[in-house]
Amino acid sequence: MGWIREHRAGKARGAAAGLIAAGVVTLALSGSGCQVAGLIAVAGDTMERTGSHDVYAEYQGLRDKNFAVLIVVDRATASEHPRMVNRLTNSITDMLMEQKDLIGFAGRVPGPYVLAFQYGNPSWVSWPYQRIAEEFTVERLIVVDIFDYRLQEPGNSYVWKGKIGARVGVIEADGPASDEFIYTKDIVVGFPDKDGYTPNDYSQGQVQATLEKRFADRVTWLFYDHEEKNMMDY
């Protein structure tokens, strides 16, 4: 991604230089050096707020490996949001599949297959992760353990205050510690970004879809190099 950074940095420097040069010429004619310094500061602040930067994958061990995505959630949350596990399993798996060229993995277990296994084997929650990996015939198991999922503000079912919190972990089934997490990362996202929104502003479907998309982004970004805005909402 070096050429991407160099190209983007060159464009950003060129744009900033154009703004500054134009301001310097204008203000030089009026003889205001202090205003020139102020313009330079404003231009730099604008670049910081509107620009972006490269972020490298935190875990790079999917290369040349097969993987499956496993969502873990408590029964109460699964009962309250019965389709949530299906949506997140499929979206995270599919989004990783879209980045196969960047990640370089050998293969993945489709989401519907993982879900069929979970629903067909209720006792899977007590299985060692090594056994689950063997069931899927994968070397990597991405476990997304959701510890918080809600759409409303606590104690106020009329106000949207969506939140998903989870610990993402990776099992390397072909390694020496085949039932222990080699990598973990806690992720928390929310939506809406401000307080006070109600069903008059967003439908439940809109809150749910945006919240889960943000969460899936954050999970999948852990596994491949990508670009993020300097001022992110989530």
* Cβ atoms 139, 174 nearer than 8 A: yes
- Strands (E) in the chain, as ranges, are 52-55, 66-72, 107-108, 140-153, 156-172, 181-191, 226-229
Flag whether 187 is in a domain: yes
Flag whether 231 is in a domain: no
Q: Tell me the residue range of the domain where 44 lies.
A: 2-54
Mean pLDDT, to the nearest integer, of 6-25?
44
Q: Are residues 76 and 146 in the same domain?
A: yes
* Cα 121 to Cα 117: distance, rounded to the nearest angstrom: 6
The pTM of this model reads 0.80
Q: Are residues 169 and 116 in the same domain?
A: yes
Q: Are residues 156 and 70 in the same domain?
A: yes
* Cα 66 to Cα 151: distance, rounded to the nearest angstrom: 34
Q: What is the pLDDT of residue 232?
A: 82
Flag whether 103 is in a domain: yes
Distances (CA, A) of 59 to 170, 182, 184, 222: 9, 10, 9, 6
Q: Are residues 107 and 154 in the same domain?
A: yes
DSSP, collapsed to helix, strand or coil, labels residue 217 as helix
Nearest residue to 133 (alpha-carbon basis) of 165, 177, 102, 167: 177
Maximum Cα–Cα distance for the chain, whole Å? 78
Flag whether 59 is in a domain: no
CATH number, domain at 192? Answer: 3.40.50.10610
Q: What is the pLDDT of residue 28?
A: 44
* Cα 208 to Cα 82: distance, rounded to the nearest angstrom: 13
Q: What is the pLDDT of residues 146-155, one digit of tens each?
A: 999 999 988 8
Q: Are residues 48 and 143 in the same domain?
A: no
122, pLDDT greater than 80: yes
Q: What is the pLDDT of residue 109?
A: 98
Q: What is the pLDDT of residues 56-72, one digit of tens each?
A: 999 999 999 999 999 99
Specify the higher pLDDT residue, 144 or 41.
144
Q: Are residues 15 and 113 in the same domain?
A: no
Flag whether 211 is in a domain: yes
Q: Are residues 220 and 200 in the same domain?
A: yes
| Helix 84-98 vs helix 204-220: crossing angle, to nearest 10 | 40
Least confidently predicted of 12-16, 115-119, 166-170: 12-16
Flag whether 60 is in a domain: no
Last residue of a domain, one of 12, 30, 54: 54
27, pLDDT greater than 90: no
25, pLDDT greater than 50: no
DSSP conformational letter for 48: H
